[in-house]
Structure 1
Amino acid sequence: MIIYNVTSNIDASIHDQWRDWIKEHIAHVLETGHFTEAKLTKVLVEEQEGSVTYSVQYRAKSRLALDKYYKNDADKLRQQAFLAFGDKVLSFRTELEVINEYTVKHN
C-alpha cells in the first residue's frame, strides 16, 4: 500500500482561506478515484513566525493508481493551488510504502 503525502507550509496571511480551500481540494483529489481515503493533519513543530505547516496523506488504491494520478490529474490540481495562493504555500511531496499496520487489541 502506498501513501501519497503532501506537506505544505502556509503563510499566516492566507491561513484561513487555505483551510477552507484544502477541504474542497481533498474532495477533488479523492474524486479522481485513485485513493481510498485522506487525512489532513497539522504538523506540530516550532514554526518560523507567520506560518503553519499541514500534511495531507492520501491512501492510494495501488502503485498503478498513484501513477495514473500523476499522469492524468496531479498537474491540473497542483496548478489550481498555485493559481489560488502563489508562493504563499510551499509544498513538497513524498511517497510512503506501508510495510505493516498495527492496532491495539482491547481485552
Structure 2
Amino acid sequence: MIIYNVTSNIHASIHDQWLAWIKEHIPHVLATGHFTEAKLTKVLVHDPEGSVTYSVQYRAKSREALESYYKNDADKLRDVGFQIFGDKVLSFRTELEVIDEYSVKFN
C-alpha cells in the first residue's frame, strides 16, 4: 500500500481561503479513481510568522494507480492551486509505503 503525502505550508494571509479550497479540492483528487481515501491533517508546529502547515495523505489503490495519477492528473490538479495561491503555498510531496497496520480494539 502506498500513501501519497502532500505537505503544504500556508501563508497566514490566505489560510482561511486555502483551507476552504483544499476541502473542496480533495474530492477532485479522489474522483480521479486512483485513491481509496484521504486524510487532511494539521501539522502541530508553531511558526512565529503565523504560517500554518497541513498534510494531505491519499491512500493509493496501488503503485500503478499512483503512477497513472502522476501521468494523467497530477500536473493539472497542482496547477489549479498554484493559479489561485501562487507562492503563498509551498508544498512538497512524499511517497510512503505502508509496511504494517495496527489498531486497538476496545470491548
CA RMSD, Structure 1 to Structure 2 (Å): 0.8
Structure 1 residue ranges (4+ consecutive) displaced by more than 2 angstroms after TM superposition: none
Question: 1:46 deviation in Å?
Answer: 2.1
Q: Structure 2: which amino acid aligns with 1:46?
A: H
Q: Deviations over 1:8-64 (max 9, x none)?
A: 000010001001100111010000000000000000012241200000000000000
Question: 1:85 deviation in Å?
Answer: 0.1
Residues 32-43 of structure 1: matches in 2 within 5 Å?
Answer: 32-43=32-43
TM-score under structure 1 length normalisation = 0.97
> Who is 1:85 aligned against?
85
Whether 1:14 and 2:14 are equivalent positions in the alignment is yes
- The sequence identity of aligned pairs, in percent, is 82
> Who is 1:51 aligned against?
51
Q: For 2:42 and 2:93, locate their aligned partners in 1 and report how far apart those are by CA, in whole Å.
A: 15
User: What 5-or-longer segments of structure 2 have no aligned partner?
Assistant: none
SS in 1 for 2:8: strand
